[in-house]
Structure 1
Amino acid sequence: MAILSGIKNTVLLWVLLVAACGNQPKKPEIEIAGKEPEMQQHANKPIVVAANRTDQYIPLLNGKKIGVVANQTTVVFKSGDSYTHLVDSLLSLQMDVKKVFAPEHGFRGQADAGEKVTDGTDPKTGLPLISLYGKNRKPSAEQLADIDVVLFDIQDVGVRFYTYIATLQLVMEACAAHGVPIIVLDRPNPNAHYVDGPTMEIEHSGFLGMTPIPLVYGMTIGEYAQMINGEGWLRSETKADLTVIPLENWTHESEYHLPIRPSPNLPNDTAIYLYPSLGLFEGTNINAGRGTEFQFQRYGAPFLDATQYNFTYTPQPNFGAKNPKQKGELCYGKDLSQIPRMTEVSLMWLIDAYQNADDKKKVFNTSGFTRHAGTEKLQQLIEAGKTEAEIKATWADDLNRFKTIRQKYLRY
């Protein structure tokens, strides 16, 4: 099934067919609270990402000098499972794209997590590539001087320490400071169906969490952009001149299967669903599948009690993990590759690993764990032997406060 959308430019008519392969939303079993009746009818229609809604944003770009914040997920879907990069599509429509700003992992998504991305030139288009994950993490005044509008389109997965929302916030700050409008093309969040996890404390803010939101915040990147603006979270004195192009036929309960991995170590749905829970291992000395073909679908370490586990693996350098934790060492742990879609953050695996470590001092890389958790309390509670239920009870008030704020910005 496909949806036709198109625009008439002064020199050509572009007709796009939206891919329906694998992106069919799940039909809600109950009404979606707070939504109008017509929104309930979207469940049987293909999801249309904002990049395909050219009639909504091309008029805003005509005659403008454009900077695009993009990576490998920045695509316009065609038919079947085919797609075209948004930058190529804009150029084919004779839009005046001046440069591309690239986030963590780079414009083509080839760099490891944490690996610095350098400036360069895109060999296909000849456009300048400006890194937002190198010597600077937001566009400078000089880099925006020849830009009339910034177009932001990156696939997010809805986890606070996934750095694309930090890039969004810093780009919005730069745009607000220098009077450049920003257009966000919205995409589904595959973890938008729940809100959970510890809320970041301001004293631990950084690139892994810039604002006091829960680990899983249950919003699309467009909704979150509106929250950043509306809650006054930009460091600039003014709000960004923000336009969000919305999705069609998507709700927060919809299942969405990403056709392109959003970063090198999120290869499939299972990894994306487990990422909020297993991503916390990034702040420990325990491997979470990097250096295997099952990233964020397993965990293990040489110092876990071998008598407690019947699953082992050995991380080796591979795509997205040039130097994985526990490289070349036999790790004892658990295989989670058959876990179904998650509806909450689970602490059971982190608690399990801590309890079965032969030396518990080996588990936490304290500063790294605090940056990922957003609080020192989570490590303290695990070390104190608290149960998952006891730890989650400490999150409840913060989650309720956030949900109240979040409600103001939900669009779907």
Structure 2
Amino acid sequence: MSFNLGIENLGKNRINENVALLTNTSGVTQNLEQNVEFLIRKGFRIRRIFTAEHGFYGTLNDGDDVKNETYNGIDVVSIYSADRKSIKPEELEDVDTVIYDLQDAGTRPYTFISSLKNLLITASELGKKVVVCDRPNPLSNIVDGPVLKKEFVSFVGADEFPLRYGMTIGELAQFMNRNIGADLSISKMTDYDPSKFYDNYLKYYVPPSLNLNSLDSMFNFSGMVLLEAANVSVGRGTPYPFMQFGLEDPIDIRSDEFEGVILRKTSFISLLNPLKEKKLKGYFIHIKDKKSYSSIRMVATIMKKIYDMDKNLINLKKLNLNYGSDEMSKWLEKNETVTDLYEKINSEISEFMKIRKDYSLYRFPN
């Protein structure tokens, strides 16, 4: 049996249905055929395309309003703007099934997950079917970081799972659907080992969004998204988003503080806020071992150094939303180490793992 993506395994029983597609240009086959063309070639009737944050081509900055457009004569409807984050009921009147096919980032604040949750809610209310076409978790099945607390659910924190959740998007859809009850099915991958990484399976990397332009940036994002709560550039507005970070007043970091990574001193100027057009000093991140590298643990150390230097550099409200609780904010105020923080994190992960197994779709090879 050879490896196939979920989109490549999509059942032909859907051909006689009217379908909508929630996707962007990361939704391609292994040979880079766009899913829209792939499905039309197979005989599917696509009534419309929905697109989430960053737009259909994945080229808009985070937070930018996404506009409606067309693709190959099919309406592309935005479900991401200041005043909407979900599909309207009338947009599904002529649709039987919505197919979700987006490459996720493996990290909770990446909002494609929240768009999927909103799709499940809308489909449940309208009695529509949802099919999630599964794709590899780019960060493998390694779970890391805090579990979100219910009172911190937001559009950058869809549900009570860890910051780095270690599940495929199909598994995560099943988990989120536990409290929704939509008519959900998963088009699974074949010959998939969840302990492996994206590049073990797919020859070509298609960025799901502008600032995750490499697999390394995706690995860094799982922790660097927390650093965005500080007045620090994480490389947005440079050729190396989430590959470097910098401040006006540098902090001192030793590379040997962290496993699986080397930090190299650098200086750069970003064309975007925060700290737009200022000369910054910081570090470039070189990943040498993806299995042992924890971006979240590294960023916790960096945040502690920034807080001790000037606590006013950190927006605690934003940190709480991205972290999924106020535990890191409380920790920053105490005289505690990253090891102390991770005692709580590991306890939360242990409890989550008991739940996660009920939603697993793939077994490790014998």
Question: TM-score, normalized by length of structure 1?
Answer: 0.79
1:145 equivalent in alignment to 2:87: no
**Contact preservation (8 Å) 1:105, 1:112:** yes
Whole-Å separation in 1 of the counterparts to 2:288 and 2:125: 45
The residue aligned with 1:361 is 311
Identity of aligned residues (%): 25
Whole-Å separation in 2 of the counterparts to 1:280 and 1:46: 38
Alignment of 1:4-403 (within 5 A): 47-53=3-9, 56-59=10-13, 61-78=14-31, 83-122=32-71, 125-134=72-81, 135-229=83-177, 231-232=178-179, 234=180, 239-257=181-199, 259-305=205-251, 311-317=265-271, 323-343=272-292, 344-355=294-305, 359-403=309-353
Q: Give CA-to-partner distance per residue, 1:74-117, whole Å, 9 cap, x none.
A: 11233xxxx21111122233321110000110111111011111
Deviation at 1:340, TM superposition (A): 2.8
- List gaps (5 residues or longer) in structure 1: 1-44, 318-322
Tell me which amino acid in the other structure corresponds to 1:121: T
The residue aligned with 1:34 is none
Deviation at 1:306, TM superposition (A): 7.6
Whole-Å separation in 1 of the counterparts to 2:170 and 2:302: 36
Gap change, CA 1:204 and 1:353, over 3 Å in 2: closer
Deviation at 1:370, TM superposition (A): 1.1
Tell me which amino acid in the other structure corresponds to 2:243: Q
Question: Is the deviation greater in 101-110 or in 85-94?
Answer: 85-94
Deviation at 1:400, TM superposition (A): 1.3
Whole-Å separation in 2 of the counterparts to 1:215 and 1:393: 15
- List gaps (5 residues or longer) in structure 2: 255-262
Whole-Å separation in 1 of the counterparts to 2:318 and 2:161: 18
Tell me which amino acid in the other structure corresponds to 1:252: P
Q: 3-state SS of the aligned residue for 2:359?
A: coil
Tell me which amino acid in the other structure corresponds to 2:136: P
Q: 3-state SS of the aligned residue for 1:334?
A: strand
**Contact preservation (8 Å) 2:148, 2:159:** yes
Q: Give CA-to-partner distance per residue, 1:294-331, whole Å, 9 cap, x none.
A: 211221110334899972322333xxxxx232111121
**Contact preservation (8 Å) 1:303, 1:359:** no
**Contact preservation (8 Å) 1:283, 1:365:** yes
Question: TM-score, normalized by length of structure 2?
Answer: 0.89
Whole-Å separation in 2 of the counterparts to 1:137 and 1:389: 38
Deviation at 1:249, TM superposition (A): 1.4
Whole-Å separation in 1 of the counterparts to 2:303 and 2:238: 19
Whole-Å separation in 2 of the counterparts to 1:360 and 1:383: 12
Whole-Å separation in 1 of the counterparts to 2:333 and 2:265: 25
Whole-Å separation in 1 of the counterparts to 2:264 and 2:196: 36
Whole-Å separation in 2 of the counterparts to 1:389 and 1:188: 30
Provide the alpha-carbon RMSD of the alignment: 2.1
Q: Give CA-to-partner distance per residue, 1:315-353, whole Å, 9 cap, x none.
A: 333xxxxx2321111212221134431444533344235
Deviant stretches of 4+, over 4 Å: 305-310, 356-359
Whole-Å separation in 2 of the counterparts to 1:168 and 1:190: 18
The residue aligned with 2:259 is none
Deviation at 1:227, TM superposition (A): 1.3
Whole-Å separation in 2 of the counterparts to 1:276 and 1:294: 16
Deviation at 1:130, TM superposition (A): 1.1
Tell me which amino acid in the other structure corresponds to 1:298: Q
**Contact preservation (8 Å) 1:273, 1:342:** no
Deviation at 1:259, TM superposition (A): 1.6
**Contact preservation (8 Å) 2:227, 2:299:** no
- Alignment size in residue pairs: 348
**Contact preservation (8 Å) 2:140, 2:197:** no
Tell me which amino acid in the other structure corresponds to 1:179: G
Tell me which amino acid in the other structure corresponds to 2:22: V
Question: Is the deviation greater in 165-174 or in 356-365?
Answer: 356-365
Deviation at 1:154, TM superposition (A): 0.5
Gap change, CA 1:356 and 1:177, over 3 Å in 2: closer
Whole-Å separation in 2 of the counterparts to 1:158 and 1:348: 17
Whole-Å separation in 2 of the counterparts to 1:202 and 1:353: 24
Q: 3-state SS of the aligned residue for 1:336?
A: strand
